Each structure stands twice: as C-alpha cells, then as structure tokens.
Amino acid sequence: MKKNLTISLTVGIILSAAALYLAFRNVPILELIDYLASINYLWVIPATFLIIFSFVVRVVRWQIILASSQRVSFWRAFHPLMIGFMINCILPGRLGEVARPMILSKRDNFPVSTGLATVAAERVFDIALLIILFAVVLATVKIRPDLTMTFGKYELNRQTLETIGIGMLQICLVLLAGIVLVTIEKTRSIINRLIHRIPHVLFFIGSTGKETFKEKICIPLVHIVDNFAQGLSMTKDPGKILTCFVLSVVIWGTAALSYYVMSFGSPGIELTFLEMTAVLVIICFFIALPSVPGFWGVWEAGGVFAMSIFDVAVKDAAGFTLASHAIQMIPVILVGFGSAVVTGIKIRNIADNGEAGYNTIN
C-alpha cells in the first residue's frame, strides 16, 4: 500500500514539475523569482480565510443535498469533503470525487451510490454557474483572435475556450438528463424493468445462469439506481435548488474575491474584481483539460493567458498565478490532512483501493 501511494505521489510530482516547466519555459526564471520575492504575503492571510470560507459554504451546500436522503452534521460532511479535495490536489485521477462518498459511507453508513449522486448534483451546480459566468465573460471581454499560448499539446486561445465551454455544456445537459430519468418515478421504474429483463436476452446462459445473473447483477444494479435516485431527491424541491444555486454563487464569488485580495499585494496586478473574476473563470475552463494532480502548469498557463487579455505583463501574470495557485491549494491540503488525522482515514488505502469499493478502506 505504501509503495503504491509513493508511486502515485512520485508520478504526480514529476508530472507537476513537467507541467510547470511547460507553463514557464518562456519566462526568465530569475525575474520570476524576483517577482515572487516582491509580493506582500501579508495579503495571504485574508485570501486564505476566504478560501476556507468558500469550502465551509461548500459543506453547507452538500449538507442540503445530503439531507434529502439522510441528515448529516456539519463536521460529518466537512471531513469527507476536505479529504476528497485534498486527494484531488495530490493524487492523479480525481480520486477524491469517489473517496468522499466512500468515507461518508464508512463513517455514517451512507450508501456509496447515494453519496456519488450527491457529488454529481454538486458538479451540476458548479458547471452550470461556470457556464453562465463564461457566457458573461465572452459577451463583455474582448479576447483577440490572435492571442494564443502553447501549453504542451494544447493551444490556449479563444477557440479552445469555446470548445471546452461546449463540452462542459454537453456534460451538464447529460447529467441533467440522467437526473431527470432517475428521479422521475415512472422513468426509473422503466429503467429497473429493463434491468430485470436483461437475463431474458441472454438466452445462451441457461436457466441457472439467468437466475445467477439476476441475483448477482440485476438486483444490485436496481438497488444502485434506487440509491442514486435517493441522493438526487432534493431536485424535486425548488426551494433547495434555489438555495444551492445561491450558495454556488457565494462559493465562486468568494473564490474570485480571494484572488482579488491577493492582487493587492502583487506588483503589476491592477485588475478590478470583475476582471479578476473573468481571469478565474478562464482558468477554470482551461483546467478542465486533462492535467496533473492539482492542475499545476495548465492553471498557470491559463492564468497568464487570461491576464494577457487585460495587458498584464507575462512576468507579473506568471508570478501572481503561481503564488495564488499555491495559496489556493496549500490550505486545502493541510486542512484535508488534518481531517484525515481526526477521522482516522488512511490516505494510502484510498489511493490503493479507492476504485475497488468502500469496504477496502480500513
């Protein structure tokens, strides 16, 4: 187990270093170091407070989504959420998205499939809000067609942004369609009946094989569908949907504000709050590209690209984006590790067995 975790961390570090090299290979390293030294890091304190506050709001939003199935206390939701985000920062594969419901299941006997449904609901709120903000950015910010930045095999430009935007919209629509199909009782009943009819199609496995298939595959699968629907039951309550959307606005608004506050101590960064929000949105779209743990490299490249729209010097944009990225990640990693210690969750077990099911977590 320790060996697998060590390999995962080593691969993550190597990939992150390579990604940072790609992002900064055209930035003079000595100038970058000088810029990082010139930042007034006292502004890290309020920026960090805002980052932690945004995660507190995330916990409250998750509690509301979870409450439709089972009420979970603040701290019972806080620790799995922070551990999940911490894992996303240090390990490849976005394992934290799966780890969160697994941890919740271990500690509160919460069905994993129901927990996964609540995480999916969260992502719908996040993606939907980012798409709205992105539409506003495209309508109000002029991105020159000739403005482009190479990052590995990617060309970061307006066309890439629009392609990612279309992809995120499609993902959001697919998730919404799935939510509708599963949460409406009539359509869910049809899905379950179709699942039960699968053995009848497998005529070549015989009667005994059909019964075994039904017992081992169909019945558990129907149970998963029902649990998944239970995790999405909050979608039937317009009041909860509105509350979660408002909380999503607060989450992303606070994240943008932390960026804006950090700029107060950063030489050469004189963007307004709305401009900094546009920078954050553009970064979020670029980090949707396949990337390393913690989004190192593509985050910085996206930040340099976004700030160049507002005529920020490359050196200043690179230094600010690198520093602010670290400030966004480090508190999450530290709090996540603290939550793992408090709850007794072993990160190495999640790294080794996260995809195998929650029963493998010790």
What is the band of 21 on the pLDDT scale with cuts at 50, 70, 90? low
- How large is the average pLDDT for residues 34-39? 89
- C-alpha distances (whole Å) from 318 to each of 27, 154, 187, 222, 298 are 8, 18, 50, 50, 12
Unique residue bearing structure tokens 């919404």: 176
The pLDDT of residue 117 is 84
* Cβ contact 251:292 at 8 Å: no
| Residue 8 to residue 348: CA distance in whole angstroms | 10
pLDDT at 43: 93
Indicate the average pLDDT of the chain.
82
Percent of the chain with pLDDT over 90: 25
Read off the pLDDT band of 356 (50, 70, 90).
very low
Mean pLDDT, rounded, for 12-29: 65
With a cut of 90, say whether residue 62 has pLDDT above it: yes
What's phi and psi for 143, nearest 5 deg? -105, 110
Share of the chain above pLDDT 70, in %: 85
What is the pLDDT confidence band of residue 113, given thresholds at 50, 70 and 90?
confident
| Span 260-285, average pLDDT | 92
**Which backbone phi and psi does 149 adopt, to 5 degrees?**
-140, 130
Distance (Å, whole) CA 306 – CA 289: 16
User: Which pLDDT score is estimated for 238?
Assistant: 86
Dist CA 305 CA 162 (whole Å): 14
Q: Per-residue pLDDT averaged across 309-325, rounded?
A: 89
What's the pLDDT at 213?
75
Instruction: Supply the pLDDT for residue 251.
Output: 95
Q: Confidence band (pLDDT; 50, 70, 90) for 290?
A: low
Q: How many Cα atoms occupy the beta-carbon half-sphere of 17 within 13 Å? A: 6
String of DSSP letters for 9-21: HHHHHHHHHHHHH
What number of other Cβ atoms are within 10 A of residue 310's Cβ? 16
**Mean pLDDT over residues 76-99, rounded?**
85
pLDDT at res. 344 = 83
Q: Which of 340, 334, 305, 12 is nearest to 155 (CA)?
A: 305
- The residue ranking higher by pLDDT, 162 or 291, is 162
- Pick the residue with more confidence: 93 or 149? 149
**pLDDT tens-place string over residues 154-170:** 788 888 888 888 888 88
| Cα–Cα distance measured from residue 295 to residue 59, given in angstroms and rounded to the nearest whole number | 22
State how far the Cα of 262 lies from the Cα of 41, in Å rounded to an integer.
8
Residue 357: pLDDT band (50, 70, 90) is very low
Q: Is 339 helix (H, G, I), strand (E, B) or coil?
A: helix
